[in-house]
Structures are given as C-alpha cells and as structure tokens.
Structure 1
C-alpha cells in the first residue's frame, strides 16, 4: 500500500514539474511609452483594460476601456510568446530616434512583482522578439484615432 501511495505521489509531483508554465497576463501590467519633444503617448494594459494618455505630467485622468474578448485572447497569446528575461537584452532594428526620425519607445512589463524593461527603440520599429506584442498594444491607440 505504501508503495502504491508513493508511486501515485511521484506521478502527481512529476506532472506538476513537467507542466508548461504559461505567463498569466491577468497578473501583469504592461506599459508602452513613446515620446519625443513634441509627442508623448503612454499605453497601460492591466486586467483586460487599456488606458492611453498623451499627458506626460501624469495629471490627466484617463478612463480605462475594456479590451474586447477577441483582442484580449490575441494579447494573451502574444504575451505568452515573450521571454521576459530577455527583454532587457533586445536590440533595436533601427536608430531613427538618434536624429529625431522616430519617437523613443520603451516597453515595461511588471509581472509577479518583477519589472522587465526593454532598452529604448524606435516607435513603430520594435525589436523582432516583441514586435507582434508592441504592434497589438499600439493598435489600441490607433482605434481611438479613427473616431
């Protein structure tokens, strides 16, 4: 009986260690900031809500808007593809921000109490590893421009 109990316990412990550890976007705060001397945009995504501000002082009160279920599912899958530990080492594919050819952008993800921050890159030209996620984040601000 002890042997059977030990085998069952080993099976459960082994399965627990073997399972895929998906990143849970519901516990993350994603911040994307793009700015130059004359432009500022901060997008914050938290718990299926997005807030967008163009006020760099932080005094503007923004009303978070709910992200549609379809967009949220897409965002979840894109978030799970990102290796958070590698964000700090990403290389920008372009350098337009050095001569005011593009706004300076940064992606910051706070997940389980740890903040992962990318090096600066050109707004509109994110590093390949986070390109899909950044483009999805930026799509929320473009929807506001269409109205």
Structure 2
C-alpha cells in the first residue's frame, strides 16, 4: 500500500470521528445545553446589557443604579430556548447585518452572544433597531420579556 492511500484513510477517519448534529457545536454524544443569552447595546450616552439564563433575567442600563435581576419562569425560558434553536448556531458569527448605521452614530451597536455548553458564540455587530432577520424573532421575544419585567 502506497503512502497516498494511507494518508487518505487517516484523513477520512479524522474527519468522521467528529460528528456534529444539525446546528449544534457539540459532538453528537454530548448533550447541547443553552446556558444563557447576552445582548449588549451601546452608543454615545447609551448602554444596555441583558442576560437571560434558565432561572433569571438580569438587566443593566447606563443610569446610576438602574439594574435588576429577577427570576424567570421555566415556561418563558423554554420558549426562549425553542426560539434560539431556530437560529443556525454555527452561523451566528457569519450572519451579515442588514445595515451598519451604528458606524456613524445612527443607531446603537448591538451584539448577541449565545452561551452553549460553556462556549460563547457571538454575532457580528448590528444595528439595535435593524437586527439580522435570523435574530429578529428571538430579539423581539427578549425585548417583550424585558419590558414585562420593567413594568413590574
């Protein structure tokens, strides 16, 4: 047997040893678990940070002492998880924003970070008021969730 077929066999076995399931970033034998979601938006004079995990929502705004952390219901977390599952996780870093007005102070710059099994998957920066269509439904749900907690 020559060197080339042996190299091809080794290369093929290395590729097939890492199996990935759907959009997950984890090997198929590892359970994919959403840890939390982080959204940060900022511009001149504006800052907002929102982190949601399976048991709490944390919100911070650039205003003296305007922060809150409250428990989140299991039903709302599961709803959020199902929305995040619809986003192609391995593509989050590659999604091209539809506009970049934040570069000229026309909009707040925003990032979406999803934490899965301890790994951070972070989007490219996008305009707060014009997110990529892949994120829109999830971001609308999160915005409504935040507003619900702000009202109470």
State if a TM-score over 0.5 links the two structures.
yes
How far 1:145 moved relative to its partner? 4.6
RMSD: 2.7
Matched-pair contact (CA < 8 Å) for 1:94–1:121: yes
Matched, 1:53 2:60: yes
Q: State the partner residue of 1:85.
A: 90
Task: Write 1 or 2 for the structure with the bigger share of helix.
Answer: 1
TM-score when scaled to structure 1? 0.72
Q: Tell me, which stretches of 5 or more residues in structure 1 are unaligned?
A: 1-16
Equivalent in the alignment of 2:145: 140
Deviations 1:84-103 (A, max 9, x none): 11000011112221221210
What is the DSSP-based 3-state SS (H/G/I as helix, E as strand, rest coil) of the residue aligned with 1:135?
Answer: helix
SS of the counterpart of 2:59? Answer: strand
2:106 corresponding residue in structure 1: 101
The answer to whether residue 29 in structure 2 is matched with residue 24 in structure 1 is: no
Partner SS, residue 99 of structure 2: coil
Q: Is the 8 A contact 2:33 2:117 kept in 1?
A: no
CA displacement 1:29-71 (0-9 Å, x = unmatched): 2110000111100000112311000149xx9694421223443
Q: Which structure 2 residue ranges, 5 or more long, are not aligned?
A: 1-18, 23-27
